[in-house]
Structure 1
């Protein structure tokens, strides 16, 4: 005889404890979204601040999605983004996790290192006569 009441097979009260395998539970959870790390954001925000100072850009948005992180840059907040800086870890071993994309969806630069990809925003010096 046991201290536990007997229930028909497959039935248990609502407050009964359920044993769950921890590794199965972790796998069933949604994966954490992809995010920009502090150093990556520092690099992006340094360029953003420079361009805001020049009057080129006015607003930004950051999206952390399941498969990628996106930093969108706007001229005005009500418009489509001028540029998107994307971090897609699935492409890290192939073309590079980082890319800069313009309004039309054209990839301006892609690579494995964010500082190299952000060089697309460096302005070339022009000789004035």
Structure 2
């Protein structure tokens, strides 16, 4: 007596065993997208809220891509983003994972710590004569 079910005609099924390389299997799956963590979003939304209160920004979008996470800031919805805050983990050991880009894609500030990078949005008060 075996554990294999009998097929019509008295034949037994032959199950084939397939060995799969675990590394190849993991690489074949879609990678998990890069996301902002809660503390990162808190820091970004704190600045976003301040700028919305000042009437400078109106809308935002969050994209979680395979290689980076992007927080886009808009003056009006339907336009190109004024700024993009990006998190790219591949650059963490080099220039830093966080960067702020303007509409034209020019990097305004890049670094290893998000609060330091977000200081680019701090307004400097100037004395007017």
- Report Cα offsets for 1:91-116 as digits up to 9, x if no partner: 00001000000001100000000000
Matches within 5 A, 1:105-116: 105-116=105-116
Shift, 1:22, TM fit:
8.4
Q: Which ranges of 4 or more aligned residues in structure 1 deviate by more than 2 Å?
A: 1-4, 17-28
- Structure 1: how far apart are the matches of 2:85 and 2:18? 44
- Structure 1: how far apart are the matches of 2:47 and 2:126? 20
Q: Residue in 2 aligned with 1:99?
A: 99
- Structure 1: how far apart are the matches of 2:13 and 2:50? 72
SS in 2 for 1:52: helix
SS in 2 for 1:72: strand
Q: TM-score, normalised by structure 2?
A: 0.84
- Structure 1: how far apart are the matches of 2:62 and 2:19? 36
SS in 1 for 2:105: coil
Q: Residue in 2 aligned with 1:29?
A: 29
Q: Where do 5+ consecutive residues of structure 2 fail to align?
A: 5-11
SS in 1 for 2:41: helix
Q: Where do 5+ consecutive residues of structure 1 fail to align?
A: none
- Structure 1: how far apart are the matches of 2:18 and 2:27? 16
Aligned length in residues: 121
Residues 1:100 and 1:22: Cα distance change in structure 2 (over 3 Å): same
- Structure 2: how far apart are the matches of 1:103 and 1:110? 16
Residues 1:20 and 1:56: Cα distance change in structure 2 (over 3 Å): farther
- Report Cα offsets for 1:67-106 as digits up to 9, x if no partner: 0000000000010000000000000000100000000110
